[in-house]
Amino acid sequence: MPPLGQVDPVTNTVRIDRNDPIATMGSCFAQHIANRLVQAGFNYLVTESDPLNRTATQPFSARFGNVYTVRQALQLFSRAFDHTPHYDGAIWKVDEGYLDAFRPTVNSNPFSSIDDLMMSREIHLRSVKEMFSTAKWLIFTLGLTESWVSTKDGFVIPLAPGVISGDYEHQDYKFYNFSLEEVENDLEELISKLNIINPKCGVILTVSPVPLIATYENRHVLQSNTISKSILRLACHHAERRFTHVVYFPSFEIITNPASQSQFFEDDFRSVTTQGVDQVMRTFFARYTEPGSIEYGVSGTIGSSTFRATNGTEIDVLCDEDIIEDALRIVEGTKRSAYPDEDVKT
């Protein structure tokens, strides 16, 4: 077994040029990848920036926020290209105005009117269309299989209504956990549609190493985490075998392999440490970019690993699941889920 910090499970490789437009999408771990691409001076593709703070570093290629499930990503693509309905129901009324349920955390303040929200959504979808159409590489980090779905329209939202805003109504929303077959079919459809509109775009799939913080299933969250990550990993495996322009990058394996001895996790055993991100991106740059295109250190121990960025500072990672953590509490040996009307056994 290689020393700590030197496990390299990459098998299939691609060659990314520093000037290639690179888009990222996915769970909160995708923001770490975006951050390091910016720091290393690569051409990180941003088609939509914050209109209120144009100088801020943008952790998303377009302002879609975290895209946790493949169905959420597929629906985002379809809304941008296929002119599917915009789901007027995906609007939450709050005291200060209105929130877009598709991306409830991307704005610091609610929209003052539904018209403003819909105008912003139109601009957003045009930016998403541009992102998919112009990217040379799409790095998609798969994060979850559990989701919340509208019973009326079938649209998927990133957070359960009621966690941050909106009202949970059983007749309007339902919990749904995507099966392996569904994830595989959704991923195949997304990749196929992207290849039609942008045949020059390569796809790099990866699975987030960040474990679930809560589950709606009637089982321990550790079991749900294993099932969810296994489904996502298998879906990536099958997509890589089917499509010649798709590769899998093993960020999940780099962080969670036994040789790491859990030292790539913070004290909460969920958040990935800076050293963990260093190791992931050091491997990424070493195997996927031209030799010498970036300076990075490789050491035999985790503690002395280094990453010398060419510019920029760390981007704060925005993880919606942190909101769920604030909602958890212990009541007589039962962990109250952040999701309404559900106790999760611990």
Residue 187: in which H helix or E strand, if any?
Answer: helix 180-197
Whether 141 has a pLDDT exceeding 90, the answer reads yes
Q: Residues 129-145: what's their mean pLDDT?
A: 97
Q: Residues 170-186: what's their mean pLDDT?
A: 91
Provide the percentage of residues in the chain whose pLDDT is more than 90: 51
Q: What secondary structure letter does DSSP report for 314?
A: P
Q: Is residue 322, in this structure, part of any structural domain at all?
A: yes
Q: Beta strand 334-336 with 329-331: parallel, antiparallel or unpaired?
A: antiparallel
Token pair belonging to 189: 């459809």
Task: Say how far apart CA 219 and CA 226 lie, in whole Å.
Answer: 12
Q: What is the distance in angstroms between the CA of the first residue and the CA of the last residue of the chain?
A: 34
The pLDDT value given to residue 179: 98
Q: Is residue 66, in this structure, part of any structural domain at all?
A: yes
Residues 6 or more apart in contact with residue 269 via CB below 8 angstroms:
211, 262
The pLDDT value given to residue 309: 36
Model confidence, pTM: 0.83
Domain that holds residue 194: 22-345
The pLDDT value given to residue 85: 58
Q: Is residue 4, in this structure, part of any structural domain at all?
A: no
Q: Is residue 172, in this structure, part of any structural domain at all?
A: yes
CA atoms within 13 A on the CB side of 45: 23
The pLDDT value given to residue 10: 93
Amino acid at 320: D
The partner residues of 203 in beta bridges, in order of sequence, read 138, 246
Q: Is residue 254, in this structure, part of any structural domain at all?
A: yes
Contact of 224 with 335, CB cutoff 8 Å: no
Q: Is residue 8, in this structure, part of any structural domain at all?
A: no
The pLDDT value given to residue 244: 96
Residue 227 has φ and ψ, to the nearest 5°, of -65, -45
Task: Say how far apart CA 66 and CA 203 lie, in whole Å.
Answer: 18
Whether 326 has a pLDDT exceeding 90, the answer reads no
Q: Is residue 3, in this structure, part of any structural domain at all?
A: no
Closest CA relative to residue 6, chosen from 256, 254, 290: 254
Whether 285 has a pLDDT exceeding 90, the answer reads yes
The pLDDT value given to residue 160: 77
The residue with greater pLDDT, 8 or 73, is 73
The pLDDT value given to residue 56: 47
The pLDDT value given to residue 168: 54
> Hey, CA dihedral for 40, 54, 315, 162, is it positive or negative?
negative
The pLDDT value given to residue 258: 86
Token pair belonging to 41: 């001076």
pLDDT band per the 50, 70, 90 thresholds, residue 223: very high
* Mean confidence (pLDDT) of the chain: 81
Q: Is residue 6, in this structure, part of any structural domain at all?
A: no
Lowest mean pLDDT among 63-67, 169-173, 196-200, 325-329: 325-329
Provide the percentage of residues in the chain whose pLDDT is more than 70: 75
Token pair belonging to 275: 């050293």
The pLDDT value given to residue 31: 87
The pLDDT value given to residue 44: 94
* Domain total of the chain: 1
The pLDDT value given to residue 262: 83
The pLDDT value given to residue 193: 97
